Amino acid sequence: MQRRTRLVVITFLAPAVLLYASFIVYPFVSSIRYSLYNYDGVGPLTDFVGFKNFSYILFSHAFAGQFWRAVWHNFYFFILSMALTTVFGLGLAYLLVRVRESISRWFQVIYFVPMVVPPVVVAYLWAMYLEPNDGAIPTILQDLHLYKLNIPFLGSEVWALPTIAVITAWAGMGLPILIFVAALIGVPNEVIEAAKADGASQFRTFVSVIFPIIKPTFLTITTLNFVGAFGAFDYIYIMEGTQAGPNYATDVIGTLFYRTAFGGFGTTAQGVGLATALAVLGFVIVMAVSAILVLLQKRASADLF
Amino acid sequence: MQAKRPVISYLLLILCALVIVLPLLDLVSLSFKDLPGIVGHPFSLPEKIYWSNYATAWSDGRLGRFLINTAIVSVVSVAVIILFSSMAAYAIARFQFIGNQLIYLGFLAGLALPIQMIAVPLFILMRQLNLLDNLISVILVYSASGMSFSVFLLVNFIRSVPKDIEDSALIDGAGYFHVFYRIILPLIRPSLTTVALLNFVSAWNGLFFPLVLLSNPDHMTVAVGVLSFIGQYATQWNLLLPSLVIVMLPTLFVFIFASRQFIRNMTAGAVKL
């Protein structure tokens, strides 16, 4: 490469690379370094402890229970999000490509709206509706005499996390719908006609013909949902506080990490070394699963051709 | 793929649209009611409109200050992301150099990084740089973390476009900066709309980093500011709801303004996921 061209490339790359390296890559590497120390965040790193923070998180009597409970909650949240995304995201996208395109676009705009509403607003809107004494939803359920369904949604250890998953889905369905619509538009009409000509039912056509074609997209959505579920924080923090109540029933890695790093109500152990070790374990889970999903996605797209 | 009986499709689509729109409209309607009206009668239009809710919320909630701070953070972050990521994407997509793929993959890996998880080293770094409790710290974090998706999107977009025009411009003696400014930037404008919208919304709505990096109420963004306001006025829904409405309006306006083009770009394969 000519010297002049090299200079141009460096000039174009430098701002983005410097910014990204300083505030993403460097902190990421620092996380790994801090996780090997007993460190309270002030002064030099001196007390090297090797993998002690990790073994404390993974095996200790005091902390391991909290960690594995949080991991399970993240995983449970992921499963709930996937179920909701499959039914509503894929379902609505399927309906959207069957109606007139100009009308379909308006629906897509509407479904995307909650994605631009701040989580603070979404959280308080639904907290207000779910308020056990005189919130709209309990009132409606009372009026319909559906007493069995009138549970303390956000205050119940069993139902708090599913309720938050539904609220998250309500707010975040716009993007998966758009991505599924884009994929479904790409399904060639001939294969659907061919299936119909062979006498396949609509459901059968979807399962055996359409789904295999959009499988790579489905796996992309799975990856997005996984990263999203393991990054869950905002709604739980706003609606259930730092202690992720009731009785830690909504505690995820995000909230456990927040308490371990910055303290707050419900904190049992705190420290920079411990918090970063927790974060590193979080990276390992998310990056490993994402890598597998991306590989599966590459294979699924390769299978199509 | 037109349906034979689109009526059922339309009914289901309208039903879901109502589930999305009604709560948001109800929020606006409730925000004009007095306290007994809010608590006792959800989903009913206000009998008397209490504009005073907004006046009180505005003055008590210090919303003006929060909104200005949030606007600074969002606008500056978006500007930095658009400029830096389009430059980098041009270099990655159009030049062969050692480390090209490595740099691209480095940006891509950020897509799978739950950014909150590096909050502790970022906090320590910002303290060392003396930027704690300064809006610049949040701007730096948002700009850097927005780079991944933006570079990914723009590199793919630039690669999908033929090089002919650029090549002939270069042969005519134009410099690379000229090519970037006159040919590449206009070309990638639809993608830049998508990048700008998504990053503006996530910067405006962001809760975690302002919560961690800012502490002085004068430097707070709306998301955290409203949260502390709520802490003080927990059950005063007549003050809370107007502030929630004010907080959601800016991103809503930006979205409505850009929505048609945004939706078209997203479904036209501008994003290959």
Judged by DSSP in three states, A67 sits in helix
Q: Which domains does chain A have, with CATH numbers?
A: 30-303 (1.10.3720.10)
Whether residue B50 is predicted with pLDDT greater than 50 in this model: the reply is yes
pLDDT averaged over every residue in chain A: 89
Which CA distances in Å does B267 have to A134, A249, B150, B179? 42, 38, 17, 28
Which residue ranges make up each domain of chain B? Answer: 52-267
Per-residue pLDDT tens digits for A76-98:
999 999 999 999 999 999 999 98
Give the model's confidence band at A186: pLDDT under 50 very low, under 70 low, under 90 confident, else very high. Answer: confident
Per-residue pLDDT, averaged over A225-234, amounts to 92
Closest alpha carbon within chain B to A238: B227
pLDDT averaged over every residue in chain B: 86
Question: How many angstroms away from the CA of B187 is the closest CA of chain A?
Answer: 17
Please give the pLDDT value at position B269: 57
Give the model's confidence band at A39: pLDDT under 50 very low, under 70 low, under 90 confident, else very high. Answer: confident
Residue A199 burial by CB count (10 A; 0-12/13-18/19+): exposed, middle or buried? exposed
A53-62, A239-248, B6-15, B192-201: which has the minimum mean pLDDT? A239-248
More confident residue, B257 or A180: A180
Whether residue B268 is predicted with pLDDT greater than 90 in this model: the reply is no
Please give the pLDDT value at position B41: 63
CATH 1.10.3720.10 fits B52-267, yes or no: yes
Give ∠ CA A125-A130-A136 in degrees, rounded to 5.
85
Q: Select the residue of B20, B43, B91 nearest A136 (Cβ to Cβ).
A: B43
More confident residue, B52 or B164: B164
Pick from B33, B108, B117 the residue to mutate for testing the A interface (most A CBs within 10 Å): B117
Between residues 221 and 260 of chain B, which touch chain A (CB distance below 8 Å)? 222-223, 226-227, 230, 237, 240, 244, 247-248, 251-252, 254-255, 259-260
What is the b/e burial string over B163-182, where b = at least 16 CB atoms within 10 angstroms of the residue's CB? Answer: eeebeebeeeeeebeebbee
Whether residue B2 is predicted with pLDDT greater than 60 in this model: the reply is no
Give the model's confidence band at A1: pLDDT under 50 very low, under 70 low, under 90 confident, else very high. Answer: low
Pick from A6, A9, A101 the residue to mutate for testing the B interface (most B CBs within 10 Å): A9
Residue A240: both structure tokens together: 């259930």
Please give the pLDDT value at position A250: 93
Query: How far apart (Å, rounded) are the C-alpha atoms in residues A251 and A241?
Result: 10
Whole-number percent of chain A with pLDDT over 90: 54
Please give the pLDDT value at position B12: 94
pTM of the model: 0.90
Between residues 181 and 220 of chain B, which touch chain A (CB distance below 8 Å)? 201, 204-205, 207-208, 212
More confident residue, B264 or B205: B205
H or E segment and range at residue A227: helix A211-230
B41-50, B133-142, B251-260: which has the minimum mean pLDDT? B41-50
Please give the pLDDT value at position B233: 65
Per-residue pLDDT, averaged over A270-277, amounts to 89
Give the model's confidence band at B270: pLDDT under 50 very low, under 70 low, under 90 confident, else very high. Answer: very low
Query: How far apart (Å, rounded) are the C-alpha atoms in residues A101 and A103?
Result: 5
Whether residue B232 is predicted with pLDDT greater than 80 in this model: the reply is no
Please give the pLDDT value at position A243: 84
A105 has a chain B CB within 8 A of its CB: yes
Handedness of CA B217, B223, B227, B229 (dihedral sign): positive
C-beta of residue B153 within 8 angstroms of C-beta of residue B191: yes
Per-residue pLDDT, averaged over B245-273, amounts to 80
Handedness of CA B93, B97, B102, B107 (dihedral sign): negative
Going by C-alpha positions, the residue among A168, A117, A21 that lies closest to residue B205 is A117
B25 has a chain A CB within 8 A of its CB: no
A90-94, B42-46, B133-137, B217-221: which has the minimum mean pLDDT? B42-46
Per-residue pLDDT tens digits for A282-298:
999 999 999 999 899 88
Give the model's confidence band at B107: pLDDT under 50 very low, under 70 low, under 90 confident, else very high. Answer: very high
